[in-house]
Structure formats: structure tokens, C-alpha cells
Amino acid sequence: MLKKINKILAISILLILLVNITIVSAATSIGQKITGGAKTAVSEAYGPVKDQTLVDALILIINSLLTFIAILFFLGLIYAGYLWMTARGNQEQIDRAKKITREIVIGLIIILLSRIATEFILTQIGKAIK
């Protein structure tokens, strides 16, 4: 059962990554190709279209990935809570739920710190390029 869930999660992750990359590349190419009256028409219909730099696109991709990762962390915490609630005094299952919760919190802290560092570095690169 757990192998099936892992397989489904892996396929879901790949599909979401593919969709995010496709959306970002499509938005970037649309922003570059639309000019003049067409840009005005799109702006009136969908809001302002701004040209994206590579740094902006990378930050958008990173934010999309981190949103997906946050959802996975949330689901992991729900799973750990479920294990703990259904332990019925089974100390091994309680310890497993505590371990999963601890690992998820540590992973979340690492991901958030790496996001801050990555965005800072990309912003500095963007400033240096301009």
C-alpha cells in the first residue's frame, strides 16, 4: 500500500513540475512576443503584462516548487498525526509518528532557509546584471 502511495506521489510531483515549467515558459514567451496593440488588448483583458527577466522567472519557478513542497509537508504532518491518533498505545507507532513529525519540521526549516538564500542570491545577480 505504501509503495503504491509513493508511486502516486512521485507521478503527481513530476506532473506538477511539468505543468509549472510549461506555464512559466509560456508566460515568458507570451510576454516577449506580444507588442503594440496586442499587448494593450491583452492588458485590458487580463491585466498588465510585464516583461520578465530570467531572475524573475527563476524566482517564480522556485516559489511554485516550494508551494508544492509545502503541500507535501502538510500532507506528511496529517499522516504523522493519523499514525499517532491510531496508535492506541502502541509505542513503536507513536515513536514513528514523532520521528516523521520531527523530520518534516526540520525539512521545512531547511527548505525555507534555502528559499531565502536562493532568492537573495538571484536578486543580487539580477541587480548586478542591470
User: pLDDT tens digits for 55-64?
Assistant: 777 777 887 8
Q: Check: CB of residue 68 under 8 Å from CB of residue 19.
A: no
Query: What count of Cα atoms within 13 Å lies in the side-chain half-sphere of residue 107?
Result: 15
Give per-residue burial for 17-34: e unless 16+ CB within 10 Å, then b: eeebeeebeeebeebeeb
**pLDDT tens, position by position, 116-127:** 888 888 788 877
Residue 48 in grid coordinates = 498588465
pTM (2 d.p.): 0.54
Instruction: Tell which wins on pLDDT, 6 or 71.
Output: 71
Q: How confident is the model at residue 98 (pLDDT cuts 50, 70, 90)?
A: very high
Q: Mark out the alpha helices in the chain (DSSP H runs).
A: 2-33, 36-46, 54-85, 91-129
Please determine, for residue 42, whether its predicted confidence score (pLDDT) is greater than 60: no
Q: How is residue 52 written as a grid cell?
A: 520578465
C-alpha to C-alpha distance for 117 and 115, rounded to whole angstroms: 5
The residue behind cell 548586478 is: 128
Cα distances (angstroms) measured from residue 110 to each of 34, 38, 67: 39, 44, 14
